[in-house]
Structure 1
């Protein structure tokens, strides 16, 4: 009552004939107060502490701000707390123990995928990444099986990566040790690996269709999700969806990419041999035929196109961004490659066990670059008791992977780049269960094994043949990300690759 008396005694109501400005301000304040009261009535009991709804009405908290403030809020409220994106409550998990308890120990309850309005118009709950329930289970089980047992045609996944690494080496040689930006070089190489899996073959680096597909843009799309305008749209989509604006950009980009995949699916359908599948699309089409009489089957064209888009997008940007960050952070340490592999043969996955320092460097690059600091949002699939709190079914969960990868209880020097975070005193490689760049639990990245293989083979192949030369002194290299929100985007830079 005291607050209410203060508010009304200090309001200045517009006099007769005054402009509309004061009236508009008072109407806005009244709407905010009404929303606050409504939210207080809707607040579930025993929810994790955190930012109150009244504060959130003015701060419009978003994912970028959440990444920056999470450590401070965790210090104040503990490792489990609530923030509001607009009027929507988000439960945030910080640190290794809290994230592990949720995603691993209570994996089923925390396995749902949150609604993401920015991409909902494209995916509508289809495709393995954004699906839930039985649809997600069927698509994930199938996709994992295909990726793990990939033996279509005459080449294994390792052979495909090794082949692509040789094409990348040739492209690097053609720079003739002159400065260049590695971004597009790496995107083309990494994209070709996933292309060989889903489409059955790689593209020439100058192929116009391939270049137009890339131009639609892996990098542009990920940057778009980081922008505040898109996060703001996600907070108020129920209202903003009726208006044009920048949130439509990502829709058209993803739709053009889907149409490219649609054309490839039709080509595969016309030439399909069920006894000799060539790629992921063929395997999916064969499964569709097997289950065409099953009314509960999720094997249909829409899920095929959108799962392929999921795999292509995830399999390109994250690996190529890690490589770009790696070049920026490395620029040195080729010695172990010479000792184990030498110059006479191409690197193989079996070399990794004999190269603990190189393996540690690659792990540290992934840890330090921290590309998806908040994970892709989860939801709880049922009313859930967690650490003494009640989390209602459907509540969005943000497991802050950044706070796990920088947990001081798990890493000796979490804020600096130090490969010894993954080395024993004896020099042997040391695993760390807080290494979660691919997330963990039931929603762990489908392509984890593929990505780890690519990173090792691309890094070792390049460092075996080239010395990476920065254009500035090492101490002047700026590793600050170009975008830092839902995802971290490496800065643009140039370097020289000098044959060894």
Structure 2
């Protein structure tokens, strides 16, 4: 028995040694980086999280293009504005793929637009852009929906008359109803239990995919399927989302598709019927389900989280809040309906919104890319199939582009005369072929919701609360800790 145990131990150590040597040999084909260990690569050093701050620290040692290993899989990191822009914009086509990681595949099965790649992705993206335009993106119709939801949010805060409240549930409800109108064709009541389950499921999946549990699942999916942990909730919530969307599709089919489609499901069902004889078509029910969940999840989580950060900055910096309100009062008055076009007359307010997106960037490192065609990037050869990850936060904190990168400073977006100015390092929505499909919608929502709330209320911390936790909760998005505020009518 002792001899058998010894033999097994020697065998295990030998296999680990061989694996270690293979990793060291493989490293020579990739940009430099920390030494990987067998089985776990660099994930132990990174604590199984791809945190933007840790990655920026590694860039100081290994340069703006370096390699970290997720188990046995190399991941090329892009750091700093110039490098990220070079990868995402100058080499946009070559880096347009999406790797089939275990977690991505479990959630999407390679369908939809966020986690798909190749021909399927191109067709779903083209359809998504066309549908958003047809449903009013950039037009008064969709902007009117946002204004209505902003008014509903104002009415809610008015009803609680300055009592301390967690702003998250009310913001989620209003923002989710904007994208619900786009994909489902209707809004939900705040009392609808199924709607709350929908938001909860979507929020969990968006968050989970950026956690260490997703990275562990990527390394050993066969094992994690049989162990307890949050990955089991991933299976449950993903099934719920698919079932919910299938029910919505069934309702649309039973009601019949109108001559003028009213939402994304209408448009998709119409598209399927038109291309049924096209063998190259990637339009089917599985893609429709995933496209709808992609739009709902991304369209709810990103805007909601940014607005939560925006209010948090306003209550912790009351002088800045007052300056925004003074500009709103001077330019808009009390009765005028706020429109996205008004941002051009509100440079300070627009700068504050942009600074929230920069300083409290919610996406952190973006989403994994994959090289679809061998290319060269700043002297390094990137082989087809290699995973790449742009550290978007490294652009938003790049000291070469921002005067005070680690301070909340709206002056980053204002010139000496107080006019709003842009900055090429401002990439919260990513860039290139994989830029966020909902960027324009998010911009309109952020502006109208934020200005509507600040014109109607002054937000304060509850009595006795002197400070709040400004450190983000790490996940696929960087969320603020839950907090309470008081909305006092102006």
Q: How has the CA–CA distance of structure 1 residues 358 and 37 changed in structure 2, closer, same or farther, with 3 Å as cutoff?
A: same
Alignment check: 8 A CA contact 2:41 2:68 kept: no
SS at match of 1:138: helix
* Deviation sequence 1:55-94 (CA, Å, 0-9, x none): 8647534662542322222111211011111121110000
* Deviation sequence 1:141-175 (CA, Å, 0-9, x none): 111111123249x9711000001111111111122
Deviates further, 29-38 or 162-171: 29-38
**Displacement of 1:220 after TM fit?**
2.7
1:120 matched residue in structure 2? 105
Q: Equivalents in 1 of 2:2, 2:277: separation in Å?
A: 73
2:100 matched to 1:96?
Answer: no
Deviates further, 334-343 or 228-237: 228-237
Alignment check: 8 A CA contact 1:375 1:399 kept: yes
2:76 matched to 1:85?
Answer: no
Alignment check: 8 A CA contact 1:223 1:489 kept: no
1:49 matched residue in structure 2? 32
2:370 matched to 1:379?
Answer: yes
Provide TM-score, normalisation by structure 1: 0.91
2:479 matched to 1:489?
Answer: yes
Q: How has the CA–CA distance of structure 1 residues 468 and 244 changed in structure 2, closer, same or farther, with 3 Å as cutoff?
A: closer
Alignment check: 8 A CA contact 2:51 2:364 kept: no
Q: Which residue of the other structure, out of 396, 399, 407, is the alignment partner of 2:387?
A: 396
1:8 matched residue in structure 2? none
2:206 matched to 1:222?
Answer: yes
SS at match of 1:479: coil
The residue correspondences of 1:276-287 to structure 2 (distance < 5 A) are 276-287=260-271
The residue correspondences of 1:168-247 to structure 2 (distance < 5 A) are 168-215=153-200, 217-237=201-221, 239-241=223-225, 245-247=229-231
Deviates further, 139-148 or 440-449: 139-148
Q: Which residue of the other structure, out of 23, 46, 49, is the alignment partner of 1:39?
A: 23
Alignment check: 8 A CA contact 1:118 1:250 kept: no
1:13 matched residue in structure 2? none
2:423 matched residue in structure 1? 432
2:359 matched to 1:368?
Answer: yes
Q: How has the CA–CA distance of structure 1 residues 131 and 19 changed in structure 2, closer, same or farther, with 3 Å as cutoff?
A: closer
2:358 matched to 1:340?
Answer: no
1:144 matched residue in structure 2? 129
**Displacement of 1:242 after TM fit?**
5.8
Provide TM-score, normalisation by structure 2: 0.92
Q: Equivalents in 1 of 2:465, 2:345: separation in Å?
A: 28
1:312 matched residue in structure 2? 296
Q: Where in structure 1 are there 5+ consecutive unaligned residues? A: 1-15
Alignment check: 8 A CA contact 2:351 2:413 kept: yes
2:469 matched to 1:478?
Answer: yes
SS at match of 2:381: strand
**Displacement of 1:474 after TM fit?**
8.8
Alignment check: 8 A CA contact 2:177 2:188 kept: yes
Deviates further, 119-128 or 436-445: 119-128
Q: Equivalents in 2 of 1:371, 1:245: separation in Å?
A: 25
Q: Which residue of the other structure, out of 262, 284, 292, is the alignment partner of 1:300?
A: 284
Q: Equivalents in 1 of 2:136, 2:214: separation in Å?
A: 40
* Deviation sequence 1:162-191 (CA, Å, 0-9, x none): 011111111111222110111111111110
The residue correspondences of 1:127-138 to structure 2 (distance < 5 A) are 127-138=112-123
Q: Which has the larger radius of gyration?
A: 1
**Displacement of 1:122 after TM fit?**
3.0
2:58 matched to 1:68?
Answer: no
SS at match of 2:282: coil
Q: Equivalents in 1 of 2:437, 2:180: separation in Å?
A: 16
Q: Equivalents in 1 of 2:11, 2:344: separation in Å?
A: 67
Q: Where in structure 2 are there 5+ consecutive unaligned residues? A: 316-320
2:13 matched residue in structure 1? 29
The residue correspondences of 1:7-26 to structure 2 (distance < 5 A) are none
Q: Equivalents in 2 of 1:473, 1:389: separation in Å?
A: 55
Alignment check: 8 A CA contact 1:64 1:486 kept: no
Alignment check: 8 A CA contact 1:51 1:83 kept: yes
SS at match of 1:374: coil
Deviates further, 395-404 or 68-77: 68-77
Q: Equivalents in 2 of 1:258, 1:448: separation in Å?
A: 25
1:3 matched residue in structure 2? none
CA RMSD between the two structures: 2.3
Q: Equivalents in 2 of 1:453, 1:345: separation in Å?
A: 17
Q: Equivalents in 2 of 1:68, 1:283: separation in Å?
A: 42
Q: Which residue of the other structure, out of 408, 412, 417, is the alignment partner of 1:421?
A: 412
